[in-house]
Amino acid sequence: MSVAVRIPTTLRTLTGGSKEVSVEGATVAEVIAALDAAHPGFSARLLAEDGTIQRFVNVFVADDDVRFMDGVNTPVPDGAEVSIIPAVAGG
């Protein structure tokens, strides 16, 4: 299943400057693994040691935040868009 992954500016050094890449994957975990295989460094930046998504990273499948779904086990339909968005904090 081919999906488009939108890459935030802070991670574009891993993709040679590309703001969107296509990878294969049926779940968020598979998409991240494929992204890391094609562009090494993504897993370390996106995943915690226990395999969950880092708390300062938001991942969306279409417009749905995977934290409120099944996390890395969230299904990713063929042709879907996955967006990686760094969390913003401040006060």
pLDDT at 83 over 60: yes
Question: What pLDDT shows up at residue 90?
Answer: 59
Predicted TM-score (pTM) of the model is 0.92
What is the spatial distance between Cα 17 and Cα 75, in angstroms, rounded to a whole number? 27
What ranges do the domains of the chain cover? 2-86
* Residue pLDDT, tens place only, 21-76: 999 999 999 999 999 999 999 999 999 999 999 999 999 999 999 999 999 999 99
Q: What are the φ/ψ torsions at residue 82 (nearest 5 degrees)?
A: -110, 130
Question: What pLDDT shows up at residue 25?
Answer: 96
Question: What pLDDT shows up at residue 35?
Answer: 97
pLDDT band of 91, cuts 50, 70, 90: low
- Name the class of domain 2-86: alpha beta
Question: What pLDDT shows up at residue 88?
Answer: 77
What's the Cα-to-Cα distance from 72 to each of 35, 43, 54, rounded to whole Å? 14, 12, 11
